[in-house]
Amino acid sequence: MLEPHENDAVTRLVAAVLSVKPLVAALAVPVGVVPVAAGTVASGTGDPPGTWSAQRWDGLEELLGRIARAAGVPGLALVRSASADDLQVFERVISERLALADVPDTVAARPARADRLVAAAVAGGFDASFGKDTVVAHDGVPLNVYGAGQGDEAVVLVPACGMPAALTETWMRFLARDHRVVTWESRGLFGPVPLIGDCAVDAATQAADLFAVMDHYRVPDAHVVGLCGGAVIALAAAAERPERITSLSLWHGAYHFGGGSPRTRFQDDLIELMTIAAESRAAARSLQTTFRQVALRTTPAETAHLVLYPYATPELFYRYCRLNGVIATTDVEPYLPRVAQPTLVVTSADDQTAHPQGSEQVARGLPYGRLRVEPHGDHSSLFHAGTALMRVATDFIAESRGAAPLSIDCPRFV
């Protein structure tokens, strides 16, 4: 039987292995990992312990193998004769996430003792908790979909374009407490998608994916929460089929206006590079390293293993630039007068990723838009939001429940 601190260590490691599953799947196996303590890769002191016995190495390797098999993550290979600096970029990111040096000696010494706890932790992971499934979009593209919760009302969470759905786990678990919540992963970037040919990526097609997900889960209408680039997809969907969307809340959206709107330097640089990379696979291949380095510098360590997913291979990067490039340059202005649902638009005063004025223009252009400006926050902080911030979304859903737009107290700015 494991001691409490051993239970915690095993549960943490299982969660870490599950969290790197999308990135490991995208990379060529085997993926080498070294045992470092949490945070040491980022600080440049990630050499593996040189004093370990062969027995401890063997035990840790067996434990990692048992967990990886249970989690369905093949290809993780413990490297004994290298430091973090000897690994590839994504191997270092994965090594830091796993933090194998933090596994207690007593657990590594008898790895079979953890099997029951490992099975329980895998069963409580994101894919299992939200019943990962596949639905085929109207044009034949397969989509990974997720859903859970037993509430009377449904919420569709539209994630940031190209990001693994697990990046929204905090939001999904919070929303599923009182609602039926569903989401999906962007078309063409996940699962067994043929490498030949390009699928459609325009905003209308991505909005149609939202309705395909709703149909799969037999959800006739829903509240929609759009995060980052997902806010544009949410607007497009609400404008196209308003009868199916009860309310919207749009969080830190990066909006493009045909008539002009301020953008951050980050937005300008991103759009310029994505436009070039989306022209061809050769162009994407030449820019992948540059993009990856920028992403590494700007992404917090706690989400790097997920946010870096679309940069893992030249093919994924090409598809990501096509998909996200369209969203970043879609003129949202024509959507606004057609979106009559109560809509909460959230940004922050210091968002350096997506210019706050874009959110202000969206709120001003919506018939029933409400702007909320947080003092701090951006795309990165949104994905590990605290309960108070996520409650803003559920409070707005509750406020708009069953109310006609004209009867709801929904001022343009608060």
Write a three-state SS string for 336-371: HHHCCCCEEEEEECCCCCCCHHHHHHHHHHCCCEEE
Q: What's the pLDDT at 40? A: 58
Angle formed at CA 184 by CA 375 and CA 381, multiple of 5 degrees: 20
Bridge partners, 33 (sequence order): 78
Mean pLDDT of 301-305: 93
pTM (predicted TM-score): 0.92
In 26-84, beta strands by DSSP E? 31-33, 76-78
Decide: helix, strand or coil at residue 144. Answer: strand
Region for residue 218 given its phi and psi (left: phi exceeds 0; alpha: psi -120 to 50; beta: otherwise): left
pLDDT tier at 412 (50, 70, 90 boundaries)? very low
| Higher pLDDT pick, 279 / 383 | 279
Q: What's the pLDDT at 267? A: 87
Report pLDDT digits (tens) over 246-269: 999 999 999 999 988 888 888 888
Show me where the domains of the chain are located: 4-124, 127-400
| Residue carrying structure tokens 């949104």 | 382
Q: What's the pLDDT at 270? A: 87
35, 57, 158, 369 from 52: Cα distances, Å: 11, 7, 46, 60
CA distance 184 to 143: 7
User: Which phi and psi angles does 184 have, rounded to 5°?
Assistant: -155, 170
Q: What's the pLDDT at 192? A: 63
Among 82, 173, 200, 177, CA closest to 398: 177
Element (H, E) at 90: helix 89-98
pLDDT tier at 197 (50, 70, 90 boundaries)? low
CA distance 410 to 400: 9
Estimate the share of the chain in helix, then strand, then coil, as percent rounded to the nearest 5: 50, 15, 35
Q: Which of 193-197, 364-368, 395-399, 407-411 has the lowest mean pLDDT?
A: 407-411
Q: What is the mean pLDDT of the chain?
A: 90
Decide: helix, strand or coil at residue 213. Answer: helix
User: Across 49-58, 159-168, 294-303, which has the greatest mean pLDDT?
Assistant: 159-168
Characterize the bridge pairing of strands 369-374 and 180-184: unpaired
Q: Which of 78-82, 223-227, 329-333 has the lowest mean pLDDT?
A: 78-82
CATH code for the domain defined by 127-400: 3.40.50.1820
The contacts of residue 14 (CB under 8 Å, 6+ apart) are: 67, 70, 71, 117, 118, 121, 122, 125
For residue 148, pLDDT over 70 is answered with: yes
Q: What's the pLDDT at 380? A: 78
For residue 225, pLDDT over 70 is answered with: yes
In 141-179, beta strands by DSSP E? 142-148, 154-158
Structure tokens given for 249: 């809340």
